[in-house]
Amino acid sequence: MTAPPVFEAALAKAKAWHAALPEAVAFCDWPDDLRYDDRTPYHLNATNQLQTAPGAPSRASAPLLSALQALAPHLEWRHTYTADEVGQHFLDHFGWFELAGPTGHFVTQKTRITVGYWGSGLHYGRHHHDAEELYTVVAGHGIFHLDDASDLTLCAGHTRFHASNRSHALTTTDSPILTLVFWRGDGLAEAPKMTAQEVSV
């Protein structure tokens, strides 16, 4: 099946984004087996929020941001988490979709490429997953937490690597953040798991 032009345009911009980021090129090859799958759109609040309040892009990320905004109404947006896990306020300002991957708008088994949106003033608690991960920030900024590492404030064009099953978290302050995330290795189709909180003494 041929992808609609709005999907092809966003995929081309994502591919160019990957090619322009040395960390992304080092992390994974751009998948060469992508096949468009006609998935039913599903809207969340993030569908509109990405269009109206995406956060600031860089000069290099602006074309990708525009393409993703045009794509927003056509996407199968997901939450994965429940209100019990993360709270309703979080869900009202968060959403993600799988651009490419085992269950993506473009199917591949070689990597997983997701796009996540968080509104300002949110805390995405500690979580982990088998797959290795490279975050790239497309717009806005946020504070990235990683166990046994210093917090880092990242904005458009910055990246952060998360090793397999190493817990990480994200806090947004006065801006939303839009990220494009690559996964590699085992567990490409799995959902992240919230990390049990240790009791502090």
Binding site for Zn ion (CB under 5 A): 133
- DSSP per residue over 111-163, as a string? -EEEEEEE-TT-EEEEEE-SSEEEEEEEEEEEEEEETTS--EEEETT-EEEE-
CB–CB of 78/96 below 8 Å?
A: yes
CB–CB of 146/79 below 8 Å?
A: no
Least Å from the CB of residue 135 to Zn ion = 7
- Which of 36/161 has CB closer to Zn ion? 161
- Which of 67/138 has CB closer to Zn ion? 138
The residue to which tokens 């609040």 are assigned: 45
- Which of 11/181 has CB closer to Zn ion? 181
Least Å from the CB of residue 134 to Zn ion = 10
13: left (phi over 0), alpha (psi -120 to 50) or beta: alpha
Least Å from the CB of residue 63 to Zn ion = 25
Least Å from the CB of residue 111 to Zn ion = 14
The residue to which tokens 């393409």 are assigned: 67
- Which of 98/133 has CB closer to Zn ion? 133
Give residue number: closest CB to Zn ion.
133
